[in-house]
Structure 1
Amino acid sequence: MGVAVGIVFIVLFLTGLLGTAFGVFLRVLAALLIALPLQAGAQWLHRRTRLPQGLALLLVALLVVGALGGAGWLFSTRIGGQVQELQQQLPQALRDVQERARGTEWGQWLANENLDFGRLTGGGSAWMGRITGIFSTTFSVLADAYVIIFLSLFIALQPKLYRAGLVMLVPKPGRTRAHEVLDKISDTLVKWVLGRLVSMLAVGVLTALGLWALGMPLAWVLALFAGLVTFIPNIGPIISMVPALLLAFFHGGPTEALYVLALYLGVQTLESAAVSPVVQQRLILLPPALIFVGQLVIGSFTGLLGLTLATPIIAIGVILVKMLYVQDVLGDESVDL
């Protein structure tokens, strides 16, 4: 009995240790997704202007911070007011949807089957709490911002130092190959980030124009939310639809909600069919099913951060398998990377 209890404690300890280690890995990866594009921009500026690497990195960082600060200042008053208004209207919209559903045939059928709407949604306030929780978390992904930002700055300032330390762990015969793998991973992560940013901008602009044309209230904040959650492939667009559909149903009824649904589906279809293939055509092509399954598995264990970073994690795994196993072990050089 004592041995069994000891084994259980050891398993739980190792599981917790593994979860902690993976959490650290996620934060390091998030820092890399900031540091690598900054370093790539600094290298590009260095090649074009012959400025010192440190000065080029400083200019790129100041440009990014200035652009973000300018955008925040430009939209702060309008967006801030709309965020507060959205938080006030969403609970009313949810209650309105529930009341209207009870007046339909299928709603009455659910009531006859003793299925309570509040229980189905986890309770109005609880369900609303989940939506606003996702909304606020997406708008202010600041839980680990301090660590991630400073870590990204350290990596961007001395990338060769950290790379050299990592490569030193590899036996000498494999160090050249290790540099090639790291180059491929760095290049893929930079392109993925740039591709996501372009997709976010396209979705945000198209959604704003569409909601404005439909006369939807709070169009700016809904469009900004749609653009931000586009950073999460596959699942992000579904999340962005929820507040928009609720408000459309609340203000305009089922017809307005159908128009908004058609708009979101159209924007996401355009982004998936036209924008993403163009901006990510040189990336490793990952099957959508693989990304979706990876998001479900990683997100279920690590939450929003893992869900957001699931695609680059899968991309890194694919690179390692193709280069270190398929090419180096199996000798198949025909695999397209």
Structure 2
Amino acid sequence: MDDTASDHRREQGKRMSDPHEAAGNDDLGSSPSRIDNPELRFEAQRAFVWTLVVGAVILAIYISQSLLVIFGAMVFAAMIDGGARLLGRVLPLSRMWLVLIVIGATAGFFYWLAMYAGSQISREAAALPTIVQAQINAGIAWLQTQGFDVSQTDLQGIAGNLMSGVGTVTRAIGGLLGGLSTIFLIAIIGIYVAMEPQLYERSVAWMLPRHRRAEFFETASRMGYTMRRLMAGRLVGMVFEGVFTWIMLALYGVPMAALLAILTGLLAFIPNLGALIAGGLMVMVGFSGGTDMGIYTIIVYFLVQTFDGYVIIPLIAKKTVDLAPAMVLASQLIMGILFGILGLFLADPLLAMIKVALERRAERNEEAYQAMMSEGS
């Protein structure tokens, strides 16, 4: 009896010392962290996954402004990278020197713009709101003479509500970093990325499973190529629209030709909406100098937009990123409401990157389907 009891105690102690065997022992019961019922275990796993998804969405919304700043830095880095690649075709220098040349040229342009054209532009910018308000009043008066019951107070109230809504969102984002701080962060992060883009690609790939890394590098390469082409198209369009507008308006003696040219060039970065805003300002300033000048500015606007839409964009950007105008406009409206002016500027590049990612995913699915069909046959 004693031998039997001791054997039983040794066997029980062995089972307790082996966690795997103890876990499978029905006498001990289920662990609190384990669900024996397969259906309940499956539902618990689903609930856990959905909790993670909801948490990730909430986190993305909470840090969305910071994510937008990071994406803006990627866009800025793509522009620097594109300029460095173009210089690298004619200058046998290292990448660091090519990037520094591009950054120096950009900084020099803005310095010239601030020092030599700043005083004239600031005077014109101070007088622009007065001219715009006067033209709006003249337009309302003309509509009233045509029999339309238009109240200036109502229009001002609608405009005030719109500006108040946009201003609230803009202030919310501006309160986080501030306009200048946001631009500074975008520039600094973009310069770091442009200096060594492969370093950051490898850092992101390191966090992925090994079998996903080659796929990531391929997708990142396509996104980078698309972004460079898209930004090249934007920059060329901005330069062309700004210079052409300035020449045409200055030849006719339109007031504020330099300011209108700069606004037209900057707003050319925003497809669709930017052209409408720049054209509206140009036409209003033109009609302030008379009917003939107003008609001339309308002609200039259509010439600029026609050449840019049918020559510049198809030659550079549209061959790579053929985005539907309605989708671009919808993304601009959504991003503008959510994130203000920064979201409006980045809506087009973000839509292009989403399209590249979806196209790449469709290609992978097609490749997998073809491989499955070949194995089945």
TM-score (norm 2): 0.71
Q: CA deviation at 1:230?
A: 0.4
- The one of 211, 217, 228 equivalent to 2:266 is 228
C-alpha distance in 1 between matches for 2:89 and 2:125: 48
For the structure 1 residues 106 and 143, does the alpha-carbon distance in structure 2 shift closer, same or farther, using more than 3 Å as the test?
Answer: farther
User: Do the aligned residues in 1 keep the contact of 2:268 with 2:275 (CA within 8 Å)?
Assistant: yes
User: Do the aligned residues in 2 keep the contact of 1:203 with 1:227 (CA within 8 Å)?
Assistant: yes
Please say if 1:265 is aligned against 2:302: yes
Q: Which region of structure 1 is more displaced relative to structure 2, 238-247 or 93-102?
A: 93-102
The 5 A counterparts of 1:172-187 are: 172-187=210-225
Q: Which region of structure 1 is more displaced relative to structure 2, 261-270 or 180-189?
A: 261-270
Q: CA deviation at 1:44?
A: 6.0
Provide Cα deviations, 1:214-266, integer angstroms capped at 9, x if missing partner.
Answer: 210111111011011101111111121233222222222x3322221221122
The 5 A counterparts of 1:1-337 are: 17-42=59-84, 51-52=93-94, 56-57=95-96, 59-76=97-114, 79-104=117-142, 106-107=144-145, 109-110=147-148, 113=149, 115-122=150-157, 142-252=180-290, 254-324=291-361, 326-331=362-367
User: Do the aligned residues in 1 keep the contact of 2:78 with 2:231 (CA within 8 Å)?
Assistant: no
SS in 2 for 1:303: helix
Q: CA deviation at 1:34?
A: 2.1
C-alpha distance in 1 between matches for 2:261 and 2:369: 45
C-alpha distance in 1 between matches for 2:153 and 2:118: 30
C-alpha distance in 2 between matches for 1:193 and 1:101: 37
Q: CA deviation at 1:314?
A: 0.8
Number of aligned positions between the proteins:
308
C-alpha distance in 2 between matches for 1:75 and 1:177: 44
For the structure 1 residues 190 and 141, does the alpha-carbon distance in structure 2 shift closer, same or farther, using more than 3 Å as the test?
Answer: farther
C-alpha distance in 1 between matches for 2:158 and 2:326: 32
AA aligned to 1:117 is Q
User: Do the aligned residues in 2 keep the contact of 1:181 with 1:320 (CA within 8 Å)?
Assistant: yes
SS in 1 for 2:323: coil
C-alpha distance in 1 between matches for 2:99 and 2:69: 20
SS in 1 for 2:321: coil
AA aligned to 2:308 is E
TM-score (norm 1): 0.78
Which consecutive residues of structure 1, in runs of 5 or more, have no partner in the other structure? 1-12
AA aligned to 1:185 is M
1:6 is matched with: none
2:33 is matched with: none
C-alpha distance in 2 between matches for 1:233 and 1:66: 27
Q: CA deviation at 1:322?
A: 1.1
Q: CA deviation at 1:333?
A: 9.8
User: Do the aligned residues in 1 keep the contact of 2:137 with 2:152 (CA within 8 Å)?
Assistant: no
SS in 2 for 1:121: helix
For the structure 1 residues 211 and 184, does the alpha-carbon distance in structure 2 shift closer, same or farther, using more than 3 Å as the test?
Answer: same
For the structure 1 residues 68 and 36, does the alpha-carbon distance in structure 2 shift closer, same or farther, using more than 3 Å as the test?
Answer: closer
SS in 1 for 2:117: helix
Q: CA deviation at 1:65?
A: 3.5
Identity score, percent:
25
Provide Cα deviations, 1:263-294, integer angstroms capped at 9, x if missing partner.
Answer: 11220111000111112254121112221111
Q: Which region of structure 1 is more displaced relative to structure 2, 199-208 or 94-103?
A: 94-103
Q: CA deviation at 1:312?
A: 1.1
User: Do the aligned residues in 2 keep the contact of 1:201 with 1:227 (CA within 8 Å)?
Assistant: yes
SS in 2 for 1:283: coil
C-alpha distance in 1 between matches for 2:116 and 2:145: 38
User: Do the aligned residues in 2 keep the contact of 1:245 with 1:260 (CA within 8 Å)?
Assistant: yes
C-alpha distance in 1 between matches for 2:192 and 2:144: 58
2:373 is matched with: none
C-alpha distance in 2 between matches for 1:83 and 1:171: 54
Q: CA deviation at 1:315?
A: 0.9
Provide Cα deviations, 1:17-53, integer angstroms capped at 9, x if missing partner.
Answer: 433432222211211122234345545666766544x
